[in-house]
Amino acid sequence: MKKHKFTLIKRLVAIAIIAILAAPPFLLPADGQTRLDPVLAPYVEQVEQAVENGLRFLMDTQNEDGSFPGRYGRAPGVVGLAGMSFLAAGYLPDHPVYGPTILRCLEFLLHCQRDNGYITARQGSDKGMYSHAIATLFMSELSGMMAPEHQRRIDQALPKALAVIIRAQNVDKPEQHQGGWRYDPTSRDSDLSVSGWTLMALRSARINGARIPAENIERGVQYILGLQDREGDAKGGFRYMRDRRGRMAYMTVQTGLAVLCLQLTGHHDSEEVAMGQRFMLERYLNLAGDNNELYGLYYYAQASFQSGGELWERFAAWMYQRYLPRQRDNGSWPQEQNTPAYSTSMVLLSLTVPYRQLPIYIRDETVDE
């Protein structure tokens, strides 16, 4: 893979974000005008305060090496999610309060990268390719916003991390698993959950100027399309694996992920996305109380915002009403996976969707027309 290069556009985006930091982050630059997402409007003060409290919690509980307490607090994926939470709220590495926290996240991930490019925990629990993909996505989103000395280190680390993802996809696999990814870089099977993160990491890097072959992204898309149910009680939903639907609640989670990935790869107006959106509209209440509730929340928030219209209006109102009152006094949200930094980051990344700060999730503003 050729050396990763970064576009002037990304750097200009970073400059533009710096320019608007003096304004509240929920004031959105769209079509040359500053406006507030109408669905967010009734909750905007609560959301802004909740986000700041959540970020303070992450900052205050971060370990010196950049990791966090809890079972998966040393997993690169959790550290990457925490770092992206600050970026999603509009804060950059040079911010006087939150900048050091972002940089410690980066330093931890760079330390976790092995010589072959794989980003994995040096000690403690890990999540394999989950962690690698999320860490890669964080570095890709961060790139172009860094001081030269840190940018040089990302320029060295990111191409190697992307190469791991490409090699993992190219492993010889049975037909039903081709194009996807699984827990280990050498796995011969695939699942939707891991594949979603890896595909988003590739897409982010490609937007950012990396020479990611379009073929690799298209193969990932085809794998995801092959997981959709076309009839029956789960019509429009996406399976975890082609031969494994699992619980309907978990299929609900996976459908949000699949729809988001298809939207971000240019399939916004496809029939498959439309079917998935109908499934999401009918099933989003299944997320409440599920073991993977916050994982599903993240994907539903992103995918419904990309969708706009009734799906975003109904889901966003439910999201604000459900999760704002659940924030604890210390700024965290109740633990999922026994890792408070994980649960807090997932809610923060969901609440900040309308802020439009992460380039990978920029929405086509014609979706509501």
pLDDT reported for residue 46: 97
Contacts of 228 (CB under 8 A, 6+ apart): 236, 237, 238, 239, 258, 272, 275, 276
- Contact yes or no for 157/205 (Cβ under 8 A): no
SS3 at position 116: coil
pLDDT reported for residue 366: 45
pLDDT reported for residue 357: 86
Report the C-alpha gap between 8 and 14 in whole angstroms.
Answer: 10
pLDDT reported for residue 1: 32
Written as six digits, the tokens of 266 are 């240019």
Contacts of 305 (CB under 8 A, 6+ apart): 312, 316, 353, 354, 361, 363
Confirm whether pTM is higher than 0.85.
yes
Written as six digits, the tokens of 127 are 């999540």
Residue 228 is given by DSSP the state: B
Report the C-alpha gap between 230 and 120 in whole angstroms.
Answer: 37
Report the C-alpha gap between 258 and 278 in whole angstroms.
Answer: 13
Written as six digits, the tokens of 229 are 């149910």
Per-residue CA distances from 143 to 33, 96, 117 (Å) = 26, 19, 17
pLDDT reported for residue 242: 86
pLDDT reported for residue 359: 81
Written as six digits, the tokens of 38 are 């109408």
- Residue 350: name the closest of 127, 34, 54, 104 by CA: 54
Report the C-alpha gap between 106 and 116 in whole angstroms.
Answer: 18
Query: 236 — phi, psi (to 5°)?
Result: 95, -20
Written as six digits, the tokens of 351 are 């609440």
- Residue 299: name the closest of 192, 139, 223 by CA: 192
- Contact yes or no for 255/297 (Cβ under 8 A): no
The parts of the chain modelled with pLDDT lower than 70 are 1-35, 123-125, 245-246, 363-369
pLDDT reported for residue 338: 87
Length of the chain counted residue by residue: 369
pLDDT reported for residue 298: 96
pLDDT reported for residue 246: 65
Question: Rg of the chain over CA atoms, in angstroms?
Answer: 19
> Domains of the chain by range and CATH?
8-361 (1.50.10.20)
Report the C-alpha gap between 364 and 307 in whole angstroms.
Answer: 9
